[in-house]
Amino acid sequence: MRRRELLKYLGATGLAYDPAMQALASLAGAAASSASGSPIAGRIFLNQVGYLPRGQKLATILTASNSASVSWFRVRSLAKGAVVLEGKVGPGRQDAASGDTVGLADFSAAAAPGSYRIEIDGAESDPFLIAPDAYAAALRLTMRAFYGQRCGCDVDLGQGYKHPRCHVGGEYHRSSGKIGRVDNHGGWHDAGDYGRYVVNSGISTGTLLWAWELYPRVLRGLGLGIPESGGKTPDFLAEVRWNLEWMLSLQDVDGGVWHKQTSENFCAFIMPQDDHLTSYVIGTGSAPYKSTCATADLASVMAIAARCYGEFDAEFAQRCLMAARRAWSWATANPGVVFRNPAGVRTGDYGDAHCGDEVLWASAELWRTTGELVYERAFIAGLPVGSIDLKTPSFSNLMPMACWTYALSSRAGSGDVKARIVDATLRAGSFLAAQAAANGYGNTLAAGDYVWGSNGTAGNQSLLLLVANHFQPDARMFETALGNLHYILGRNCHGVSWVTGLGVRPFQHPHHRPSAADGIDAPWPGLVSGGPNGGAGDDVARALPKMPPMRRWVDDQRAYSLNEVAINWNAPLVFLLAAANS
Ligand code: 9MR
Ligand code: 9MR
């Protein structure tokens, strides 16, 4: 086997952590095998998809701990064979998140479009592209993955990735306060399971519609090859509407929204059309049955939708606005109904004991859409007094979304409140930029950010940075946001691309039922892995030895706390890719 092929093979088999071997491998400058036979792949880690011509370009190089040794790197054009840039690898430093000793190769000066490779002491990196549209295909693929997650209709992504209609209709669960058949369909499968959850749908559709509002030039013309293509609604909005329609079907006549529609237990690893477990609309088990977080999330998202769809379908936009108003009234009248799985139900609960931030988000979005004082007053009254502290948004932390939509609104609002929000955002962005500069692999994650779905956390930290960049254009914020894209697409200690179908070494074994059950080796395309998790939520993760948090990932289908896919992790990646294409 030639060395290049060997490296490719080793990369595909995954890496095991062994600091001693790491040092050896880096000194040897090539692949090596540990005593236990665990392979270690190459030593140059970068975005396997590529870079924008004028963008910052950094590769992470595994080095010897002796920082006195200096290596030179060369950037070689694959078409011409010529070296286009030479430079020194920066001094070796210890990276806590991975346990690696690394140096940085800054090849930002390479700007001419083309394909390249980096070489150091006989070692070679994966090939990569420099091009103004380096991320165009990635944007389409990751957005089209939502079509792949569709429930309740025929899906055909091409190349065999398809399934017929699944999960049509259902029943009201005894926990819902109603009985009988439910005549609905639609939505996106949440993740590797076939459940549909309003809370997670909320942050996911909200993030996507925000991308639509912030990057219209990029998204208006994006063709997705979906059943609605060619209609009067742009593909991007048509895809999101597929999930919004299902969300609307979970709103009760009183305005409240049931938490989820799933079977009582997760089904086996089968195709969606083969899942015949009853799909229940599930409530809290006692009056008022609907939950505050789900209802407020629906209010927020429908308020955004009312802004986005009006131009293409005024009647639908009106329907969304009415739903948002009714949901907001219910949530403010029932502010403390927390959801926990009722007896007999074991699917995800998207647990969140505090729904004040969801209600805040709904108030801010409804104000931005309507300008009505009642919503603005509710928003301002719900804000903390004094300085605001903005953390990474997530399905359980919507406070940043609430604040940002208020500040992004073209309505005057309170200048003081807007200023406090902008200030808090710039502070949080600077903090992330400093964190990224200190990290050996250039991502924004701190040790404590390696949680279940840390790649989603990275995506949401990029969203924060991009909003900051929107308030006050700043190359440092933008480049730091893109740093997480580089990390996800290969500049990480595993040398893996965490998006199926992207880069030369994408992960292969997501915890994703269709990928496991369809009889095709390669997984469904465009899906991001949850990524490293410092905790241990499944048996595979529990069996891992003690190691630094970025190492805590394996490409194993069974490892749902490390390697599942989910709509709320793909959505911020689409947002980031929309920015990268802007
Ligand atoms: O497949 C399920 C995945 O979607 C969830 O995120 C995960 C945690 O709730 O649970 C998975 O289902 C597992 C179940 O919890 C325990 N038995 C094995 C199931 C996976 O095969
Ligand atoms: O993303 C969720 C993560 O934050 C939780 O820690 C975890 C356990 O409750 O559940 C994750 O969400 C899963 C959901 O419950 C069911 N569908 C798959 C989701 C991703 O693993």
Q: In the prediction, which pLDDT does 16 show?
A: 33
Dist CA 480 CA 57 (whole Å): 11
Dist CA 534 CA 287 (whole Å): 38
Dist CA 344 CA 260 (whole Å): 14
194 three-state secondary structure: coil
Q: Yes or no: say if 282 and 342 are a contact pair by the CB < 8 Å rule.
A: yes
Does the beta carbon of 365 sit less than 6 angstroms from any atom of ligand 1?
no
Atom 2, ligand 1: residue with shortest CA distance: 193
Q: What is the mean pLDDT of residues 531-545?
A: 97
Q: In the prediction, which pLDDT does 121 show?
A: 85
Q: In the prediction, which pLDDT does 499 show?
A: 98
SS3 content of the chain, % helix, strand, coil (to 5): 40, 15, 45
**Mean pLDDT for all residues in the chain:** 93
pLDDT at 426 over 80: yes
Dist CA 241 CA 209 (whole Å): 10
DSSP 491-507: -STT--BSBTTSSSSB-
List 182's β-bridge partners, or say none.
Answer: 170
- Torsion angles phi and psi, residue 102, rounded to 5: -135, 155
Q: In the prediction, which pLDDT does 507 show?
A: 98
pLDDT at 20 over 50: no
Q: What angle do CA 544, 546, 552 make, to 5 degrees?
A: 55
The one catalytic residue in 193, 252, 352, 365 is 193
Q: Yes or no: say if 162 and 522 are a contact pair by the CB < 8 Å rule.
A: no
| pLDDT band with cut points at 50, 70 and 90 for residue 155 | very high
Q: What is the atom index within ligand 2 of the atom nearest the CA of 350?
A: 15
Residue found under tokens 């229940």? 280
Q: What is the mean pLDDT of residues 204-214?
A: 98
Atom 8, ligand 2: residue with shortest CA distance: 348
Rg (CA), the chain: 24
Q: In the prediction, which pLDDT does 494 show?
A: 97
Q: Yes or no: say if 305 and 299 are a contact pair by the CB < 8 Å rule.
A: no
Q: What is the mean pLDDT of residues 484-501?
A: 98
- List strands edge to edge, sheet with 260-262: 181-182, 170-172, 280-282, 260-262, 196-197
pLDDT at 322 over 90: yes
Dist CA 100 CA 550 (whole Å): 10
Measured between alpha carbons, how far is residue 305 from residues 233, 255, 314 in Å? 13, 17, 11
Dist CA 73 CA 87 (whole Å): 5
pLDDT at 200 over 50: yes
The one catalytic residue in 297, 511, 538, 556 is 511
List 59's β-bridge partners, or say none.
Answer: 105
Does the beta carbon of 510 sit less than 6 angstroms from any atom of ligand 1?
no
Q: Yes or no: say if 397 and 457 are a contact pair by the CB < 8 Å rule.
A: no
In 371-512, alpha helices (H): 373-382, 399-408, 415-438, 454-471, 475-488
Question: Which H/E stretch holds residue 60?
Answer: strand 58-62
Token pair for 57? 């370009």
Q: Yes or no: say if 113 and 132 are a contact pair by the CB < 8 Å rule.
A: yes
84 three-state secondary structure: strand
The one catalytic residue in 100, 239, 449, 564 is 564
Q: In the prediction, which pLDDT does 122 show?
A: 81
pLDDT at 64 over 80: no
Contacts of 452 (CB under 8 A, 6+ apart): 530, 533, 535, 537, 561
Is 297 among the catalytic positions? no
Q: What is the mean pLDDT of residues 519-544?
A: 98
Is 564 among the catalytic positions? yes
pLDDT at 18 over 70: no
Does the beta carbon of 350 sit less than 6 angstroms from any atom of ligand 1?
no
Q: Yes or no: say if 443 and 456 are a contact pair by the CB < 8 Å rule.
A: no
| pLDDT band with cut points at 50, 70 and 90 for residue 231 | very high
List 114's β-bridge partners, or say none.
Answer: 130
Q: Which ligand is nearest to the CA of 191?
A: 2
Token pair for 344? 């007999």
Nearest to 3 by CA among 30, 29, 24, 25: 30
pLDDT at 543 over 90: yes
DSSP 334-372: STT----PPTT--S-----S--HHHHHHHHHHHHHHH--
Q: In the prediction, which pLDDT does 63 show?
A: 87
Burial annotation 491-524 (CB, 10 A radius, 16+ → b, else e): bbbbbbbbbbbbbebbbbbbbbbbbbbbeeeebb
Cis omega (within 30 of 0) on the bond before 288?
yes
pLDDT at 34 over 90: no
Bridging pattern class, strands 162-163 and 155-156: antiparallel
How much distance in Å is there from the Cα of 348 to the middle of ligand 2? 6
Q: In the prediction, which pLDDT does 68 show?
A: 59
Q: In the prediction, which pLDDT does 67 show?
A: 54
Q: In the prediction, which pLDDT does 65 show?
A: 64
Q: In the prediction, which pLDDT does 274 show?
A: 98
- Torsion angles phi and psi, residue 32, rounded to 5: -150, 170
Is 479 among the catalytic positions? no
* pLDDT tens per residue, range 268-320: 999 999 999 999 999 999 999 999 999 999 999 999 999 999 999 999 999 99
- Pocket probe mutation, ligand 1, options 560, 564, 568, max atoms within 8 Å of Cβ: 560
Token pair for 271? 């195709």
Q: How far apart are the first and last CA of the chain?
A: 42
**Quick one: CA torsion of 298, 510, 558, 260, rounded to 10 degrees?**
10
Is 354 among the catalytic positions? no
Q: Yes or no: say if 509 and 557 are a contact pair by the CB < 8 Å rule.
A: yes
The one catalytic residue in 100, 235, 275, 555 is 555
**Quick one: CA torsion of 58, 60, 65, 69, rounded to 10 degrees?**
-50
| pLDDT band with cut points at 50, 70 and 90 for residue 386 | confident
| pLDDT band with cut points at 50, 70 and 90 for residue 32 | very low
Measured between alpha carbons, how far is residue 171 from residues 34, 181, 188, 295 in Å? 54, 4, 18, 20
Dist CA 135 CA 89 (whole Å): 27
- Torsion angles phi and psi, residue 538, rounded to 5: -150, 170
- Torsion angles phi and psi, residue 268, rounded to 5: -70, 180
Q: In the prediction, which pLDDT does 355 show?
A: 98
Q: Which ligand is nearest to the CA of 193?
A: 1
Q: What is the atom index within ligand 2 of the atom nearest the CA of 190?
A: 17
Does the beta carbon of 530 sit less than 6 angstroms from any atom of ligand 1?
no
Dist CA 571 CA 582 (whole Å): 17
Q: Yes or no: say if 142 and 526 are a contact pair by the CB < 8 Å rule.
A: yes
Q: What is the atom index within ligand 2 of the atom nearest the CA of 511?
A: 21
Residues having CB closer than 6 A to ligand 2 are 190-191, 193, 195, 348, 350, 452-453, 560, 564, 566
Q: In the prediction, which pLDDT does 253 show?
A: 98
Q: Yes or no: say if 20 and 40 are a contact pair by the CB < 8 Å rule.
A: no
Q: What is the atom index within ligand 2 of the atom nearest the CA of 560?
A: 21
Q: What is the mean pLDDT of residues 62-89?
A: 87
pLDDT at 534 over 50: yes
| pLDDT band with cut points at 50, 70 and 90 for residue 40 | very low
Atom 19, ligand 1: residue with shortest CA distance: 266
Question: Which H/E stretch holds residue 136?
Answer: helix 136-148
Q: In the prediction, which pLDDT does 66 show?
A: 57
- Torsion angles phi and psi, residue 229, rounded to 5: -55, 140
